[in-house]
Amino acid sequence: MLVWGCKNTPQPVVENTGYVSPAPAFCTDSAYQYVADQCAFGPRVMNSAAHDSCGEYIARKFSSFGATIYDQYATSKLYDGTPIRMRNIIAAFNPEATERIIISGHWDSRPWADHDDDEANHHTPIDGANDGGSSVGVMLEMARLLQKDLQEKGDSAFLALHPTLGIDFICWDAEDAGTPSFERDKENHEDTWCLGSQYWAGNPHVEGYRARYGVNLDMVGNSNTIFYRELISQRYASAVVDKVWAAAHRIGYGKFFSYDDEGGGVTDDHIQVMRGGVPCIDVIGTDINGGGFPATWHTMNDNIGNIDKETLKAVGQTMLEVIWGEE
């Protein structure tokens, strides 16, 4: 049983602007705990007991917050032909609403620490605290706040304000199953990544599914992280990029969501969401010092000890600002 020290109070006035956010305060302690809970199962790699147990935990937590759960079970193959069992977990709030928004991120972890400094670790699976776990931690805390009656006057403060809007949290599986770097002749096989969202793009969880837009979160929990406007997101869903970056700057998190530079294009789940007919962007972490992915990316150091609460807060509060501000 977990007890957190967060108060479910509305956001305070943002310093130096006078702006008062309509969104509740994102509880960083609980989001951090959700990341730790996932890591406690062990690496969430395909065909493992840790993977299956953590999937049950994620679905159970979303359900406890009032979401309707849609499970997508499917089989696929790794780059070398190994069969894998996948599970996409979709947690829907207000499932009857036809106007919907997707918030997504992958929940599996990398089967190989193929970018670790120690080559002896390259075949070892990683905890994936940042790369997978952080996105789910943010989504679970958002879900808790969507369900929570902040004014103690009804079932859901959010749904009372947005009765015709539905939110779908989608936890993709097998995003990080792409060809490892030690298979040099196979490294650039783009179709070996994002297997769960590839499946969803051709087999949506609801027939004829549509959404206004989607925001995919990836590696949103390390220190020294900054978020640039990803190239493919800018090209095909620039209005969504503008919406998210404006929300971050409006509530004082501009140092995390930078307008100074544009990021490169990234192979990630947002591409498959767009192939499924929904404009979608990628909010993906970049190392503020060295550029490129965070320093823990695909290494044994991607563990709970390197999760930064301030980064979780910046992303989670920004996403609450985005959806609370929807018409």
Task: Provide the CATH number for the domain around residue 68.
Answer: 3.40.630.10
The answer to whether residue 8 sits within a structural domain is no
Alpha helices in the chain (DSSP H): 28-40, 49-64, 134-147, 157-161, 195-202, 231-236, 238-250, 269-275, 309-324
The answer to whether residue 43 sits within a structural domain is yes
Give the closest residue to 292 by CA, choosing from 199, 211, 222, 193. Answer: 222
The answer to whether residue 245 sits within a structural domain is yes
The answer to whether residue 11 sits within a structural domain is no
Structural domain boundaries, residue 97 = 28-324
Q: For 148-204, what is each residue's pLDDT tens digit?
A: 743 444 557 788 889 999 999 999 999 999 999 999 776 668 899 999 999 999 999
Local confidence band at 82 (pLDDT 50, 70, 90 cut-offs): very high
Chain centroid to CA 73: how far?
19
The answer to whether residue 20 sits within a structural domain is no
The answer to whether residue 23 sits within a structural domain is no
The answer to whether residue 3 sits within a structural domain is no
Unique residue bearing structure tokens 């060809």: 179
pLDDT value, residue 161:
85
C-alpha R_g of the chain: 18
Q: In degrees, to the nearest 5, what angle opens at C-alpha 138 toward C-alphas 265 and 45?
A: 70
What's the mean per-residue pLDDT of the chain?
92
Question: How many domains is the chain built from?
Answer: 1
pLDDT value, residue 15:
56
Local confidence band at 1 (pLDDT 50, 70, 90 cut-offs): very low
Pairing state between β 83-93 and 68-77: antiparallel
Q: Using CB atoms within 10 Å of the CB of residue 38, give its burial: 0 to 12 exposed, 13 to 18 middle, 19+ buried.
A: buried
User: How many residues comprise the chain?
Assistant: 327
The answer to whether residue 14 sits within a structural domain is no
pLDDT over threshold 90, residue 5: no
Q: Do 100 and 211 contact (CB within 8 A), yes or no?
A: yes
